[in-house]
C-alpha cells in the first residue's frame, strides 16, 4: 500500500473577514507528482503557506507522514523533509550562489556530503557553477529559480513543494525548469507542483487538483483532467 506523505483535510484560511481557502482537502502519496492548478487568486499559494507554517490556519488538519504538522514552524518542517520553493524564489540576494546552497543544508551536519550535493546541483545547473561566487541578487529570474530549486534540494526533501516555478520566466527557461522537476521526481522525490501553466503542470503530473475561489472543484488523473473540456476551456484557452 502506498504511503500518504501529505494529507490536507478541511483546510480553511482567512485574511481578516475574507475566507481565502474554504475547506480544501487533498493528498499526495509517496512517489507521486501531483499538480494543483488554478487561476491567479484561486488560493493555491495561500494553501502552500498554510501547509508550511507561514500562514495561520483557521480550521482543518495538515498531516505529513501520518503526523499533524499544523502550527509547526517552517524550520521544523524542513528538518522533517517538507521543503518549499516559494513563489518569487526567495533567494538570499546578498549571498553568493554557493552560500545560498549552503543555507539550504542548514539542517545537516554531514560536511562531506553537503559538498558533494553542492557539486550535484552544479552538474544539474552548469550556469550556477560558472557563477558560484556571484551574488544571487545580480542574477536573472531564471537563474534565481534554478538556485532556489538547488537550495531546496540541498535539504534532501522527502516532499518538495513548488509554488509557481515558471512564473515570469522565458520559454527556454520554463523548459529547463520543467525538465528539472521531471528529473527530480524520476529520482524518487515526491512533488506537489502549484502552477498557473496548466498544460505543462498536468503534462508532468500523475494526478491533479483544480482550485477555484478557494475550493477544489475537480480532481483526477492528470491526463484525464488535461483532456477535460472544462479544464481546456478555463486554463488552456480552448
Consecutive sets of 10 residues in the chain, 238 residues long: mean pLDDT of each? 92 91 97 94 93 93 96 91 88 93 92 94 93 93 91 95 92 91 94 92 96 95 94 79
Q: How far apart are CA 105 and CA 4, in angstroms?
A: 25
Q: What is the pLDDT of residue 1?
A: 67
Q: What is the CATH number of domain 4-235?
A: 3.40.50.300
User: Phi and psi at residue 137, in whole multiples of 5°?
Assistant: -65, -15
Cβ 80 vs Cβ 21: under 8 Å? no
> Which pLDDT score is estimated for 165?
92
Ranges of each domain in the chain: 4-235
Dihedral angle sign, alpha carbons of residues 45, 51, 56, 61: positive
Amino acid at each position: 500500500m502506498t504511503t500518504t506523505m501529505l494529507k490536507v483535510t478541511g483546510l480553511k484560511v482567512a485574511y481578516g473577514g475574507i475566507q481565502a481557502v474554504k475547506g480544501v482537502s487533498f493528498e499526495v502519496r509517496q512517489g507521486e507528482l501531483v499538480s494543483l492548478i488554478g487561476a491567479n487568486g484561486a488560493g493555491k499559494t495561500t494553501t502552500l503557506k498554510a501547509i508550511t507554517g507561514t500562514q495561520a490556519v483557521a480550521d482543518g488538519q495538515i498531516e505529513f507522514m501520518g503526523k499533524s504538522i499544523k502550527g509547526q514552524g517552517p524550520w521544523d518542517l524542513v528538518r522533517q523533509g517538507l521543503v518549499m520553493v516559494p513563489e518569487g524564489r526567495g533567494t538570499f540576494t546578498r549571498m553568493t550562489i554557493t552560500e545560498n546552497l549552503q543555507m539550504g543544508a542548514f539542517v545537516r551536519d554531514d560536511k562531506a556530503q553537503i559538498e558533494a550535493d553542492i557539486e550535484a546541483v552544479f552538474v544539474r545547473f552548469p550556469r550556477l557553477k560558472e557563477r558560484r561566487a556571484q551574488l544571487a541578487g545580480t542574477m536573472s529570474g531564471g537563474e534565481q529559480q534554478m538556485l532556489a530549486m538547488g537550495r531546496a534540494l540541498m535539504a534532501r526533501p522527502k516532499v518538495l513543494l513548488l509554488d509557481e516555478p515558471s512564473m515570469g520566466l522565458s520559454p527556454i527557461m520554463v523548459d529547463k525548469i520543467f525538465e528539472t522537476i521531471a528529473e527530480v521526481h524520476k529520482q524518487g522525490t515526491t512533488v506537489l507542483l502549484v502552477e498557473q501553466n496548466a498544460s505543462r503542470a498536468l503534462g508532468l503530473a500523475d494526478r491533479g487538483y483544480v482550485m477555484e475561489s478557494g475550493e477544489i472543484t475537480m480532481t483526477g488523473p492528470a491526463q484525464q483532467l488535461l483532456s477535460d473540456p472544462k479544464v481546456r476551456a478555463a486554463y488552456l484557452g480552448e
